[in-house]
Amino acid sequence: MPRLSTTIINRLIAEHADALRDERAEPAILLPIVGQERGHPVLFPWSLARQVDQLGEHEGVNALRDRNPVRRIAVDSTESFADIDTPEDYRRLHDS
């Protein structure tokens, strides 16, 4: 997430803090979106930490997203959604 902005991080933290103050709110994974496109970073509530340890050998944290409540948080830009997992990803991002 080389282009991640503090604006998105601060927004997720504020949304999470608001949910913690609301006793009726169920802990939820916070997922930034633009339109229907999902992005990064994803904020996982601490209450899901034990579930990470229980993930199967071939499961990633997306499995947690599929099994738990998710709140989609609208953000203004997909710029921070870029992720680098391979040298090709790096070159593509570097050249853009």
Q: Which domain holds residue 32?
A: 6-95
Under 8 Å between Cβ of 45 and 57: no
- Decide if 90 is inside a domain: yes
Beta strands at 70-74 and 29-34: parallel, antiparallel or unpaired:
parallel
Does any domain span residue 1? no
pLDDT band at 63 (very low <50, low <70, confident <90, very high): very high
Enter the pTM of the model: 0.76
22-51 pLDDT, tens digit each: 888 788 999 999 888 888 889 999 888 889
Which among 37, 33, 40, 42 is positioned nearest to 68, based on CA atoms? 42
Q: Is 51 a domain residue?
A: yes
Using pLDDT thresholds of 50, 70 and 90, give the confidence band for residue 84: confident
Highest mean pLDDT among 2-11, 68-77, 82-91: 68-77
Q: What is the pLDDT of residue 69?
A: 92
Total domains in the fold of the chain: 1
Contacts of 77 (CB under 8 A, 6+ apart): 5, 34
Determine, yes or no, domain membership for 17.
yes
Token digits for 35?
């339109």
CATH, residue 69: 3.90.550.10
